[in-house]
Amino acid sequence: MLGMLAIVTTCRHRIAVAAVAVLAIAAAASGAAAQSAIVVVNGDPITAFDIDQRSRFIQISTQKTPARQEVIDELVDEKLKLRLEQRFSLEGIDSELENAINNMARRMRVNQQQFTQQLANSGVQLGTLKSRIKAEIIWTKVVRGKYQSSFQFNDKDILAALETRKKDDQGGYDYTLRPILFIVPRGSPQAMFETRRREAEALRARFQNCDDGIPFARALRDIAVRDQVRRSSVDLPPLLREILEKTEIGRLTPPELTQQGIELYALCAKKQSSADNTLGRREVRDELVSEQFQANAKKYLKELRSQAMIEYKQ
């Protein structure tokens, strides 16, 4: 009887070991499938995992489910763009990439670690986003450098475009600003940022003019008052331009989260811009540059694709 029990126990053990082995083989096969090349671009593989990651990212950023071929085409173009870093002498790519990621996090009012976690919660790795942004940074530098002369437009071109596009050539303003930073040490908890934001709001309520407000701000704890800067409204992003338009001279802009802490700007002076530096002219110039960039980029990408070795495996 004991011998029969030993035989049954041994059989059960072998069955359990075999089941574990089958599961391990299945998991390995699944992992291998995820890493197998779907497309190879100049020897650089695009895997099923890459396609899944990019699909997820496009879905959460556009709220639309992209077609699989659309995703593959984007990844192929990305591989071609990334390879250009080896062909051209490009500087500052990594720092620009880091700044871009930090700016995205700041616009969402979180730090980079929290931003990374939010992506992970959506099933997207930070590397997927970094690869996409890096490719576009490289691409912009290369296209602008390669076709630099085509982006030059004279006053005659600008005025003609203003007339054709019926743009309102409204004047802009030149602002004199003093950045004020409420310093938050790197790695501080979110509660610290909220505390400093409340302190910034308190200063904003009290700040009435630059002559008295700047010395008062300098006397506060862990505050950096930077040298004044001058900015033209035509050079500012629309959101900041709108904020400054609503800010009275001598007052502070709303606090903003940055890498170093909470930042505000004291608007110390404001004057009308020169006649040749208007918002209408800048908008037209930007539109002409954008149109020329897109035309050159499309032509160059077609050239790169024609020269590339692109192998579709599945």
CATH number at residue 223: 3.10.50.40
| Contact predicate 137/290, CB 8 Å | no
Whether 17 has a pLDDT exceeding 70, the answer reads no
CATH number where 66 lies? 1.10.4030.10
Using alpha carbons, list the distances in angstroms from residue 236 to 54, 209, 274, 276. Answer: 32, 23, 16, 16
State yes or no: pLDDT of 227 exceeds 90: yes
pLDDT of residue 9: 42
**Do residue 57 and residue 135 come from a single domain?**
yes
- Residue-level pLDDT at 33: 41
- Clarify whether residues 142 and 178 are in a common domain: no
Lowest mean pLDDT among 82-96, 227-241, 267-281: 267-281
CA–CA gap between residue 71 and residue 85 (Å, rounded)? 22
pLDDT at 314: 72
Whether 15 has a pLDDT exceeding 50, the answer reads no
What are the pLDDT digits (tens) for 45-86? 999 999 999 999 999 999 999 999 999 999 999 999 999 998
163 is a domain residue = no
What 3-state DSSP class applies to 122?
coil
> Which pLDDT value is given to residue 29?
36
Domain membership of residue 198 (yes or no) is yes
Residue type, 250: G
Q: Does any domain span residue 12?
A: no
Counting the structural domains of the chain, the total is 2
Average pLDDT over residues 131-145: 95
Q: What is the domain range of residue 135? A: 38-146
pLDDT digits 0-9 by tens, 158-201? 777 777 766 665 667 889 999 999 999 988 888 999 999 999 99
Instruction: Identify whether 165 is part of a domain.
Output: no
| Residue 148 DSSP class | G
Model pLDDT, residue 199:
96
CB 160 within 8 Å of CB 178: no
Higher confidence at residue 280 or residue 261? 261
Do residue 139 and residue 228 come from a single domain?
A: no
Two tokens at 297?
A: 């980029």
In this predicted model, what pLDDT tens digit does every residue of 233-271 receive, in sequence order?
877 878 888 899 899 999 999 999 887 899 999 999 998
* pTM for the predicted model, two decimal places: 0.63
Report whether 109 contacts 259 (CB < 8 A). Answer: no
Shared domain for 191 and 228, answered yes or no, is: yes
